[in-house]
């Protein structure tokens, strides 16, 4: 079986700025991977390219062997995406929004109820999206990302804006999906990378600086904590 995600010599320029620099990695079914790095490291840009929202300047992206450039519909059908900021329709109710998204993806209305229950947003299904708190908005975005039960799930800052109890709920939910999905989580929260991810890809300035388990990265960097490893790998160029 081909890798769930495979990027090959992936590059992205914005003018003269190279946001993603020759990025090569593979992800297999069952992996929960933290894409960890400082703000501006290229995490969201990479996510947006994998989902097909942004076209790479060069390179290829494969989702279970499907090239997102040459067969975008097939590749995108395998992906669920929670983007940064969760763009939603403010004048729609939560239920109407989820049903609309379900229709676009060809899934049943019943699935909207299941996704709402999983994301713990059933109490606000009849509310307009514009009335929701930041925490509920994030969870509505999470519910839409799992509507089609995709084998690949990309989550950009999934717990942003959530209180500690909500964070715990979402992290447990993600962990419970481990066996059936490949999950890539973009985050700058070290505790999130440590608690729910089996693998960490630490990037800075669009390049992979380290790739492995938390223990592997500590051994590679000769540090005692992920915080120290993060600092070493993301500031060494500034101090060199």
Q: Identify whether the C-beta of residue 41 lies closer than 8 Å to the C-beta of residue 21.
A: no
**97: pLDDT strictly greater than 90:** yes
Write the pLDDT tens digit of every residue in 162-204.
889 988 988 999 998 988 999 999 988 898 899 899 999 999 9
Which H/E stretch holds residue 18?
Answer: strand 17-27
pLDDT bucket at 239, cuts 50 / 70 / 90? very low
> What φ, ψ does residue 13 adopt, rounded to 5°?
-105, 140
Please tell me the distance from the alpha carbon of residue 135 to that of residue 19, in angstroms, as a whole number. Answer: 29
Q: Lowest-confidence range among 75-89, 134-148, 212-226? A: 75-89
Could you tell me if 132 and 149 are in contact, meaning their C-beta atoms sit under 8 angstroms apart?
no
pLDDT over 90 percentage in the chain: 75
**pLDDT, average across residues 48-74:** 94
Structure confidence at residue 166 (pLDDT): 87
85-92 average pLDDT score: 86
Question: Could you tell me if 10 and 116 lie in one domain?
Answer: no
Mean predicted lDDT score pLDDT of the chain: 92
| CB-based contacts of 120, cutoff 8 Å, min separation 6 | 139, 166, 169
- At a CB cut-off of 8 Å and minimum separation 6, what does 20 contact? 10, 11, 12, 42, 45, 46, 49, 56, 206
**119 lies in the same domain as 213:** no
Closest listed residue to residue 220, CA positions, set 235, 231, 209: 209
pLDDT digits (tens, 9 = 90+) for 139-157: 999 999 999 999 999 999 8
Tell whether 38 and 128 lie within a shared domain: no
**Structural domain that includes position 34:** 5-78+150-239
The predicted model gives 51-55 an average pLDDT of 93
* pLDDT confidence of residue 237: 53
pLDDT of the residue at 219 = 94
CATH number, domain of 21, equals 3.40.50.300
- Same domain? For 217 and 231 the reply is yes
Number of domains in the chain: 2
Assess whether 161 and 138 both reside in one domain.
Answer: no
Its pTM stands at 0.91
């Amino acid at each position: 079986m081909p890798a769930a995600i495979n990027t090959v010599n992936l590059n992205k320029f914005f003018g003269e700025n190279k946001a993603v620099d020759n990025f090569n990695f593979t992800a297999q079914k069952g992996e929960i991977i933290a894409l960890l790095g400082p703000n501006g490291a290229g995490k969201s840009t990479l996510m947006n390219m994998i989902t097909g929202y942004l076209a790479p300047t060069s390179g290829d992206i494969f989702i279970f062997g499907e090239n997102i450039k040459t067969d975008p519909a097939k590749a995108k059908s395998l992906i669920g995406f929670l983007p940064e900021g969760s763009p939603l329709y403010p004048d729609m109710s939560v239920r109407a929004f989820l049903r609309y998204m379900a229709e676009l993806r060809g899934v049943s209305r019943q699935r909207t109820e299941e996704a709402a229950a999983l994301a713990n947003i059933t109490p606000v299904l009849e509310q307009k999206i514009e009335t929701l708190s930041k925490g509920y908005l994030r969870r509505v975005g999470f519910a839409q990302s799992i509507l089609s039960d995709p084998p690949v799930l990309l989550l950009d800052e999934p717990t942003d804006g959530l209180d500690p109890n909500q964070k715990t709920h979402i992290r447990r939910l993600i962990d419970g999906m481990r066996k059936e999905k490949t999950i890539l989580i973009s985050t700058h929260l070290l505790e999130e990378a440590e608690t729910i991810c089996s693998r960490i890809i630490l990037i800075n300035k669009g390049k992979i600086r380290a790739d492995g388990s938390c223990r592997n990265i500590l051994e590679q960097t000769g540090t005692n904590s992920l915080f120290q490893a993060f600092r070493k790998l993301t500031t060494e160029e500034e101090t060199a």
